[in-house]
Amino acid sequence: MSVQWVNYDLNKTGQNYEALIAYLKSHNGWAKPLKSSFFVNTSLSAAELRTEIKKYIDTNDDVVVVNVDGQSWATYGLSEKLNTWLKNNI
């Protein structure tokens, strides 16, 4: 398992985020630190996860998936619950 950081911009007006969010939450663990961002604990590589995400978005949307190695990270303004998730998973 590894943690992938998913960032997205759904550019179509009135875009339905529900299917994408349900998919991201279906993995072994997840955290939502920002409005259009998820950490996902998954067995998928960044490229594999990106390919799966494409099933839930439009062709004019943008997605970045980054493998998180945990070497260094810091937060500001996030909840204790989210920081605990990060400490336990990254």
Question: 10-41 pLDDT, tens per residue?
Answer: 877 667 788 999 999 999 999 999 989 999 99
Fold of 2-89: Alpha-Beta Plaits (3.30.70)
Residue type, 73: W
| Alpha carbons 30 and 62: distance in angstroms, whole number | 20
Q: Who's near 62: CB < 8 A, 6+ residues apart?
A: 8, 9, 11
Q: How is the chain split into domains, by residue range?
A: 2-89
Q: Who's near 7: CB < 8 A, 6+ residues apart?
A: 36, 37, 63, 64, 65, 66
pLDDT in tens, 41-77: 999 999 999 999 999 988 888 999 999 988 899 999 9
pLDDT at 14: 66
| Alpha carbons 13 and 60: distance in angstroms, whole number | 11
Q: Give the predicted TM-score (pTM) of the model.
A: 0.87
pLDDT at 89: 92
